[in-house]
Structure 1
């Protein structure tokens, strides 16, 4: 399969996944492009143990985390300047705290809960495909996703 065909087939999956992660279509498109650049650079590391879309989404997730680390360093004083009223400050802090807690809970999950949750929510993969990736049944994927969701809720 040539790169153009691969890109046309896999870009929508990676883009949807990244849009789910970051909530910003323009940023998701930029991150998806970065994902494919990194995939080309590291194509030799793809061992075929999972679907190509899953491998690309993992690269995309790493691109997203790299972006977050980079922007967190730059955010500092800019965030304080943008907050206009005390009400906005309070609302923003609550939203940020909630998002931070969810993010922490998600990344505190053990495997396979974290990966199943990520594949279901962000990559929008069907349970059958998730089960197939792990060599398990569709029902296993459903139960694992449900348990992951419960573990995240417990921490909030």
Structure 2
């Protein structure tokens, strides 16, 4: 089977377009697609080849979409007064108390997440530059940064 980074670069656009057709929101579709590829990476050993790899990836993306949609619905029902657009994590760094929470979580973050997040947010490096430093692909840098952001956001409101 192809190296997973190759799978990611070969199928990302197709899966992303499929997810956009499901949810109609490119920003949310990007988050869903990233999560779907993360799940696919974790479970690549369970791919038996009974269908095309693209079908398997789209199925994971569809299930991820439904799971995230249910989660979003529950959040809306539980806390309806929250604004639809959440303040970006980088903006929260301006608030001193939140910045301390973020830096504490960042300090506890395992590698390479910590370093990739640091390079992107504070070093203002492009994904291409980060990938070159690690000897990886640009896709790897994007996924790693996204994962780091999600790990840091856990527990920060």
Task: Give the TM-score taking structure 1 as reference length.
Answer: 0.49
Task: Give the TM-score taking structure 2 as reference length.
Answer: 0.48
| Greater relative contact order (CA < 8 Å, ≥ 6 in sequence) | 1
